[in-house]
Amino acid sequence: MTKEDIKVLIIGSGPAGYTAAIYAARAGLKPVLYMGEQPGGQLTITNDVENYPGYPEGINGPQMMMDFQQQAERFGTDVRTGLATKVDFSVYPHKVIIDDKHEITAEAVIVSTGASAKWLGLPSEQRLNGQGVSACAVCDGFFFRNMDVAVVGAGDTACEEATYLSKLCKKVYMIVRRDEMRASKIMQKRVLNASNIEVLWNTQTQDILGEQEVEGVRLINTSTNEVTEIPVQGFFVAIGHKPNTDIFKGYLDMDENGYIKTIPGSSKTNIEGVFAAGDAQDHVYRQAVTAAGTGCMAALDAERFLASKEVELAE
Ligand SMILES: Cc1cc2nc3c(=O)[nH]c(=O)nc-3n(C[C@H](O)[C@H](O)[C@H](O)COP(=O)(O)OP(=O)(O)OC[C@H]3O[C@@H](n4cnc5c(N)ncnc54)[C@H](O)[C@@H]3O)c2cc1C
């Protein structure tokens, strides 16, 4: 095992990680950033980002993340390939193992490992991802104005996505597997009160139709076995997200779904010197701009933490 001591380690290369890197590098902290298995993060699988400020014409997701990386590197961030595979936050400086072979001790660690949308697992869903299939209504709903769309899911998020889409789209079909929803009563009420949302109970998606883009969806009614096809142009999967936080379990406080808990109004976790930013700690907003915002917070919190440590040592 090779060993290395550094000041600031950033785990993850999405908007949160790169923004933390820009701030930490400009503060002279010489951050090292590991990109993980998805360099650039979730935005690398989307074509059009139209809601990130500063790009009036919109921007292609992979290009935007290359811009983030270049900006972080310009100020001296050491951007590396590699996956954090194990941590030990019970010691200080904190230990993080990269690719099971490189041991880093870091005075401050910024966790920005993001989250991954859960998918149904249909081949057509993968093939048409970004061509009408989406896991984010706030991100992509705008592209389906005045069109017909379907939302799959039965929790609060699915209800929220359907309600959001109902204000933009002509018709929203909500595909619900059982004869009831998991969502809270208030969220269900909003869905049921919307005149252009039709809930399809006891229904499962068999296939998403279309070659180049979504043209419809084939459904099966699980109580009658009846198969139907409905024409839609957008297909939104809202069956949940999984934060990429498994390696931090046992050290960082998390909610029941694995989202890291931070002290409100800060990026501080329960462990001194470990900060969390982006979707790994945010199940509410899940946007690039909020991830970037909390990345900035994490770098500033880390910088202040390190400055206070230096004062402690000097005394
Ligand atoms: C298809 C799609 C379209 C979207 N469109 C928009 C949009 O138009 N506008 C918008 O604002 N938001 C959009 N979003 C949401 C946005 O992408 C996320 O909110 C944002 O990317 C979260 O940033 P993040 O930095 O927290 O994490 P992510 O972007 O999820 O990045 C996480 C990073 O952590 C790395 N990582 C994970 N585990 C490890 C590990 N163990 N070691 C090292 N690295 C690790 C990954 O490789 C990745 O680089 C979209 C999301 C999707 C899926």
Sort 254 into a burial class: Cβ within 10 Å, 0-12 / 13-18 / 19+. buried
Which one of 23, 42, 239 would you pick to mutate in the ligand 1 pocket, going by the greatest count of ligand atoms within 8 A of its CB? 42
Tens-place pLDDT, residues 265-310:
999 999 999 999 999 999 999 999 999 999 999 999 999 999 998 8
Q: Ligand 1 centre from 282 Cα, in Å?
A: 11
Residues of the chain above pLDDT 90, percent: 92
Tens-place pLDDT, residues 205-243:
999 999 999 999 999 999 999 999 999 999 999 999 999
Q: Are 94 and 106 in contact (CB under 8 A)?
A: yes
Q: Which pLDDT score is estimated for 43?
A: 92
Please compute the mean of the pLDDT values over residues 43-68 and round it to a whole number: 92
Q: Which residues line ligand 1 (CB under 6 A)?
A: 11-17, 34-39, 41-43, 45-46, 49, 51-52, 83-84, 112-115, 117, 134-136, 139, 244, 247, 278-280, 286-289, 291
Atom of ligand 1 nearest to the CA of 36: 44
- Taking 80 as the threshold, does the pLDDT of residue 314 lie above it? no
Tens-place pLDDT, residues 131-165:
999 999 988 999 999 999 999 999 988 999 999 99
Atom of ligand 1 nearest to the CA of 140: 8
Catalytic residue check, 156: no
| Mean pLDDT over each residue of the chain, to the nearest integer | 96
Q: Ligand 1 centre from 61 Cα, in Å?
A: 11
Catalytic residue check, 140: yes
Q: Ligand 1 centre from 43 Cα, in Å?
A: 6
Of the CA atoms within 13 Å of residue 28, those in its CB half-sphere come to 3
**Nearest Cα to Cα of residue 246 among 116, 126, 133:** 116
Q: Ligand 1 centre from 199 Cα, in Å?
A: 30
Can you say how many angstroms the Cα of residue 248 is from the centroid of all Cα atoms in its chain? Answer: 17
* DSSP string computed for 93-104: SEEEEETTTEEE
- Taking 80 as the threshold, does the pLDDT of residue 313 lie above it? no
